[in-house]
Chain A
């Protein structure tokens, strides 16, 4: 017993020592990608394909949310900073400035496709057509009444507009940390509130009295809730609707059905572009970065015959895709002026 004990203590001591040694060794170069959870499935599919069909180690893709990704990406150049960040919205001027301040000056921006944000309900419900103004009035914290903004009094859809069904307002949607929430606020609420007399300016505060339930980043959970509760609506990305068509259906927004073609053509109003940003300073050092971006922008992946379409990505029109490729070929450097307007 004694011998064994001394032995095991000795082994432990050696292990601790060697750990310290490993800690100081350089990490093997492996492409690191961070950013939006919406782009994550597409990005990691391309990463997997690259790893499976070449000798390059499969890139590591981390889903940090668009904002979290920008923070890491703009943290600097060199080890331990990501090479590429995905975003479900454009880089903000403030984020661009942060990048500049930390020496990340050579960035190329690419759009890979579109994502539609759907307002979905149980399949057993009657089909419904909601305008963005109606949705805004259902979720806003304050609504205009008699020329003043008052706390949102609506509890039923029929209170908003008598043509809507007599149905409790209950909406499961993304939490504030989510890029989907940003896009929902911008594309639905900003537009809606600007078209409603009484707001005066864009209004994007969401009510907190339990009618709008922020539901974490897990959209599968929202789908389950919708299947159980016929009153509820859910707000999430198109791919979850596509995958669960046997349980849920999308509401028309401003009279347009959430269908792939209609999102791609821009007719469906609640759609956004999906971006990724490449840190060109890393291209020399990290093996396979160029192959990854080439593959991401290839016909095989993002065209309308590409694999990513099956995962719910809405492809770019052909000429737009061509333009994106030439941006990348020339390693077009992102400028502050690109991000305004």
Chain B
């Protein structure tokens, strides 16, 4: 121990501590900033979107007869009719067709109100004619107006009548598209990864392939849209706007993600496993099939789910292949026109009617909860089944 060393930290040391504290503060600041943005975004979406999950309904007596089938507006009381959504009136002839016994009867129903009435009640706009305002007040005092859960949001397709617009066709479209994405990119991606990781010799060619795959993961998605348009639609003649075209295009995007994560999962399996299997006489393929793949499956699935979730939120490439369009009917096959959730949100965001603002936000909330569910599944899979060596 020399006399020169004091027990007090030197100035230099203090400066280093200070620098460290400063650095830590920056990092915490960055974290807080991103959390603040997230909270802001979520609360804004919830604020705007929550009201779209409920909808104003009006109780009215509906009369079915020869006249009201033709002039459907006359099926309910003259003063109430302007408050009721047109989506109901135009359904009357078909309702009567489907159930002829309705003819000549009267029934009391809760009918969806027009978007104007709904917006007025939710205090988003004051644009309601005074006459209708007083009718609404009268109905409210009679207990004939209430909020109901907006079932249509989940059971009907897109509509130009805001009170009738829903996400159903987009759900079905998303399901079909993701089916195609999975069916195409999972087997191809996993097989590619197995070859590159387990069989391929390390030479210039495979190195080139590797670099290109890593680059592909970073290519802007709009380019995949152009590729999809040129190859799948114009060259192979896949129908425009179809789930097949969309799925194939998005598969191109998902492939690199799956390949990269599968390779990482395979690499995480220790060499001893392969050597052990081969030592007792297993072929390379047997060792992979029976030991390496099952052990790396949780990792592979995690990567796949994340890749699919990414594809699910994608819109740009779909713009070019005609999937961002007015497609209210849910597709019944891979070749019929389909739209997907983010495309539906995009379409709603551009509509002039005010009611679509909350519908857009509600759509975003639904999409986000789907994505969170998917990603949570990935995390759970990883935590439950992944083995550490």
Give me the interface of A with B, judged by CB distance under 8 Å.
Answer: 1-2, 5-6, 9, 12-13, 15-16, 19, 22-23, 25-28, 30, 32, 37, 40-41, 44-45, 47-49, 51-53, 57-58, 60-63, 79-80, 217-220, 239-240, 242-246, 307, 311-312
Q: Is there an interface contact between A48 and B289, defined as CB atoms closer than 8 Å?
A: no
Q: Is there an interface contact between B160 and A41, defined as CB atoms closer than 8 Å?
A: yes
CA distance A47 to B157 in the complex (A): 13
In the complex, the chain B residue whose C-beta lies closest to that of A26 is B335
Q: Is there an interface contact between A58 and B328, defined as CB atoms closer than 8 Å?
A: yes
Q: How many residues of B contact A (CB 8 A)?
A: 52
Knowing A45-B160, A60-B325, A62-B322 touch, does A22 contact B333 (C-beta < 8 A)? yes
In the complex, the chain B residue whose C-beta lies closest to that of A237 is B352
Q: Chain B residues near A45 (CB, 8 Å)? A: 160
Query: How near does chain A come to B356, taking the closest CB pair, in angstroms?
Result: 9
Knowing A19-B334, A23-B244, A62-B326 touch, does A5 contact B293 (C-beta < 8 A)? yes
Do most interface residues of chain B lie in helix, strand or loop, or is the interface mixed? Answer: loop
Q: Is there an interface contact between A312 and B352, defined as CB atoms closer than 8 Å?
A: yes
Q: Sort A-B residue pairs by CB-CB distance and give the 7 closest, nearest first.
A: A62-B325, A15-B183, A44-B326, A61-B326, A27-B239, A1-B294, A45-B160
Query: How near does chain B come to A25, taking the closest CB pair, in angstroms?
Result: 6
- Interface residue? B353 (CB, 8 A): yes
Q: Is there an interface contact between A80 and B240, defined as CB atoms closer than 8 Å?
A: yes
In the complex, the chain A residue whose C-beta lies closest to that of B92 is A53
- Interface residue? B329 (CB, 8 A): yes
A sample of 12 more A-B contacts (CB under 8 A), given A28-B335, A41-B160, is A15-B179, A27-B242, A30-B336, A32-B240, A44-B326, A47-B326, A47-B328, A49-B90, A51-B328, A60-B241, A62-B326, A63-B325
CA distance A12 to B91 in the complex (A): 42
Q: Is there an interface contact between A53 and B90, defined as CB atoms closer than 8 Å?
A: yes
Residues of B234-257 at the interface with A, using a CB-CB cut-off of 8 Å, are 236-242, 244
Of the candidates A6, A27, A218, which one forms a contact with B336 in the assembled complex, judged by CB atoms under 8 Å apart? Answer: A27
In the complex, the chain A residue whose C-beta lies closest to that of B356 is A220
Q: Is there an interface contact between A52 and B325, defined as CB atoms closer than 8 Å?
A: no
Q: Chain A residues near B322 (CB, 8 Å)? A: 62
B329-353 to A contact mask, C-beta < 8 Å, 1/0: 1000111110000000000011111
Of the candidates A1, A9, A60, A307, which one forms a contact with B337 in the assembled complex, judged by CB atoms under 8 Å apart? Answer: A60
Query: How near does chain A come to B338, taking the closest CB pair, in angstroms?
Result: 10
Q: Chain B residues near A40 (CB, 8 Å)? A: 326
Please name 25 pairs of A and B residues whose Cβ atoms are closer than 8 Å in the assembled complex, sorted by A.
A9-B187, A16-B183, A23-B236, A23-B244, A25-B335, A27-B335, A27-B336, A28-B333, A41-B160, A48-B161, A49-B90, A51-B329, A52-B87, A58-B157, A58-B327, A58-B328, A58-B329, A60-B337, A62-B324, A63-B324, A79-B237, A217-B350, A220-B350, A245-B127, A246-B127
Query: How near does chain A come to B340, taking the closest CB pair, in angstroms?
Result: 14
Of the candidates B241, B294, B328, B354, which one forms a contact with A2 in the assembled complex, judged by CB atoms under 8 Å apart? Answer: B294
Q: Is there an interface contact between A19 and B180, defined as CB atoms closer than 8 Å?
A: yes
Chain B CB count within 10 A is highest, among A41, A48, A58, for A48
- Interface residue? B103 (CB, 8 A): no
- Interface residue? B316 (CB, 8 A): no
Q: Chain A residues near B157 (CB, 8 Å)? A: 58
In the complex, the chain B residue whose C-beta lies closest to that of A81 is B240
Q: Chain A residues near B242 (CB, 8 Å)? A: 27
In the complex, the chain A residue whose C-beta lies closest to that of B329 is A58
Query: How near does chain B come to A23, taking the closest CB pair, in angstroms?
Result: 6
CA distance A243 to B127 in the complex (A): 10
CA distance A60 to B322 in the complex (A): 10
In the complex, the chain B residue whose C-beta lies closest to that of A6 is B289
CA distance A79 to B242 in the complex (A): 13
Q: Is there an interface contact between A44 and B160, defined as CB atoms closer than 8 Å?
A: yes
Residues of B308-334 at the interface with A, using a CB-CB cut-off of 8 Å, are 322, 324-329, 333-334
In the complex, the chain B residue whose C-beta lies closest to that of A308 is B160
In the complex, the chain A residue whose C-beta lies closest to that of B180 is A19
Query: How near does chain A come to B360, taking the closest CB pair, in angstroms?
Result: 10
- Interface residue? B77 (CB, 8 A): no
Q: Chain A residues near B86 (CB, 8 Å)? A: 307
Knowing A23-B238, A47-B326, A48-B328 touch, does A219 contact B90 (C-beta < 8 A)? no
Query: How near does chain A come to B173, taking the closest CB pair, in angstroms?
Result: 12
Knowing A48-B160, A243-B354, A307-B86 touch, does A60 contact B326 (C-beta < 8 A)? yes
- Interface residue? B297 (CB, 8 A): yes
- Interface residue? B126 (CB, 8 A): yes
Of the candidates A15, A80, A244, which one forms a contact with B239 in the assembled complex, judged by CB atoms under 8 Å apart? Answer: A80
Of the candidates B90, B297, B326, which one forms a contact with A5 in the assembled complex, judged by CB atoms under 8 Å apart? Answer: B297
- Interface residue? B20 (CB, 8 A): no
Q: Is there an interface contact between A220 and B336, defined as CB atoms closer than 8 Å?
A: no
Chain B CB count within 10 A is highest, among A30, A60, A219, for A60
Q: Chain A residues near B106 (CB, 8 Å)? A: none
Q: Chain A residues near B179 (CB, 8 Å)? A: 15
- Interface residue? B214 (CB, 8 A): no
Query: How near does chain B come to A121, taking the closest CB pair, in angstroms?
Result: 18
Q: Chain B residues near A28 (CB, 8 Å)? A: 333, 335-336
Query: How near does chain A come to B47, taking the closest CB pair, in angstroms?
Result: 16
